[in-house]
Structure 1
Amino acid sequence: MLSRFDRIKIAKKVAEELEEGSIVNLGVGIPTLIPDYLNGKKVYLQSENGLLGIGPTPDEEHINMDLISASKKPITMDKGASLFDSSDSFVMIRGGHVDVAVLGALQVDRYGEIANWTIPGKTILGVGGAMDLVAGAKKIILASTHQAKNGQPKLINELTFPSNGVRKADMLVTEHAVFKFTDYGPELSEILSDISIDELRKITGTKFKEKITT
């Protein structure tokens, strides 16, 4: 099971990748940690249930469950934040006004095609906004564990779970590494743990090129 330290490490790395002034939608799971690790960088965090301007996670004394994210987690609002109908939120998403979507992943293929909404044979609670975000956001960053709970790699040659759509992710950040997706497959751009390249290859379900910058 992924430790809280590793989850925070992934969130911090994604936060580094976000550009000042960008509008960013945060998906369920690890992405919800990002507001606490922006280190003063001004980005506009959007929640698809109708909020632009998510602030840091509240402490226990200041939790108000009337103010939650689309992940049903308690949040705060930054100064100048705005609330609106969820239908207006999806106008933003479908209209191409979200610069970056940070999503979790069940699987991602070697070209960045994403499966993150259902596992075959398991109960489906609802697709949510994942397909809209994949289609509408200008850039897609995946923040995910390197392997599933059963030990299977999430970065694989070909999806076996239902796809979110033909739109591809730009980047995958795991507890071990950062990959960027190209027309020729994934490129390893950074190592985030003490794992060796050979060990990383063994727990990754597809071949990748090394393009690490120092």
Structure 2
Amino acid sequence: MPKNYIAQRIGKEFKNGMYANLGIGIPTLSADYIPEGVEVFLQSENGALLFGPKPQRGMSNPDLSNAGTEPITMLPGGSLFDINASFAMIRGGHIDMTVLGALEVDQHGNLASWKIPGKCLSGMGGAMDLLYGCKKVIAALTHTDKYGHSKIKKQCALPLTGAHVVDMIITDKAVFSVTGEGIILDELAPGVTVTEIIDLTEADIINIDDWKNNEK
């Protein structure tokens, strides 16, 4: 499953002692892929700190959930608090990393996640605060939409959630770093070729020639 692969790859970004926020959707799946021996303080914008994988079936507590209202398991030492305290952590720069889903990202580090013209969606939520308050921003999304169109754009077409905020992009096809000069291809997913990435990526990849040379 593409989403599970993305979640597993997100898990490799967790570092010991890190405070990390997981957005709704694919990012929350990564709570199940924290590497063994790594202690991560997962924070949820609705007011939870230090939670772990989803509980086993029949073991969930209806009062314990992440930002996507999915059940969570609180770990020893974990705490619950109101949303004011949660956003004080975020806006105060106390969260090391946030992983957010997106509708589109582009080569300038822009991210669009909250509005599709003609559709009624719930709004931006806390994404704007997370994009500007967290020290590192990872965008996690499938590489293309259901029609095969690239979500990794030269310029986002949808209304932005944040401008020049993304540090890393993780898709089911590849991993990119976002720099002031553009995006850099860091990794290919297993079985994915450079040619496939070129065909499926609208954005300019500044080191793509190096990858083409290595593939020969």
- Report the TM-score range of the alignment, normalised by the length of the smaller protein: over 0.9
For structure 1, the 5+ residue unaligned runs are none
Query: Are 2:34 and 1:38 equivalent residues in the alignment?
Result: yes
| Pairwise CA distance, 1:18 | 1.9
Cα deviations by residue, 1:55-101 (Å, 9 ceiling, x for unpaired): 11111120222111110101110110011001110011111111100
Give the corresponding residue for 2:199.
202
- Paired with 1:33 and 1:53, the residues of 2 have a C-alpha distance of 15
- Residue 158 of structure 1 is matched in structure 2 by 155
2-side partners of 1:132 and 1:204: how far apart? 28
1:183 corresponds, among 158, 167, 180, to 180
Contact 1:57 1:74 in 2 (8 A): yes
How far the C-alpha of 1:125 sits from its partner, in A, is 1.4
Distance of 1:137 and 1:76 partners within structure 2: 24
SS in 1 for 2:79: strand
Please report how far the alpha carbon of residue 11 of structure 1 lies from its aligned counterpart in structure 2 after TM superposition: 1.1
Q: TM-score, normalised by structure 1?
A: 0.93
Matched, 1:61 2:58: yes
Shift of residue 183, structure 1, vs aligned partner: 1.3
Instruction: Give the alignment partner of residue 11 of structure 1, picking from 7, 11, 14.
Output: 7
CA distance, structure 2, for counterparts of residue 200 and residue 116 of structure 1 = 22
Q: Deviation of residue 39 (structure 1)?
A: 2.6
> 1:151 Cα shift?
2.1
State the TM-score, normalized to the length of structure 2: 0.92
Q: Verify the 8 A CA contact 1:49 1:86 in the aligned structure 2.
A: yes
1:70 matched to 2:95: no
Paired AA for residue 23 in structure 1: Y
Q: Is the 8 A contact 1:175 1:193 kept in 2?
A: no
Identical counterparts, % of pairs: 44
5+ long unaligned stretches in structure 2: none
- Residues matched between the structures, number: 209
Letter in 1 for 2:6: I
Alignment-derived partner of residue 146 in structure 1: 143
- Once the 2 structures are TM-superposed, how far is the Cα of residue 124 of structure 1 from its aligned partner? 2.7
Which whole-Å deviations, capped at 9, do the CAs of 1:4-29 have from their partners, x for residues lacking one? xx222211111111221110000011
Corresponding residue SS for 2:172: coil
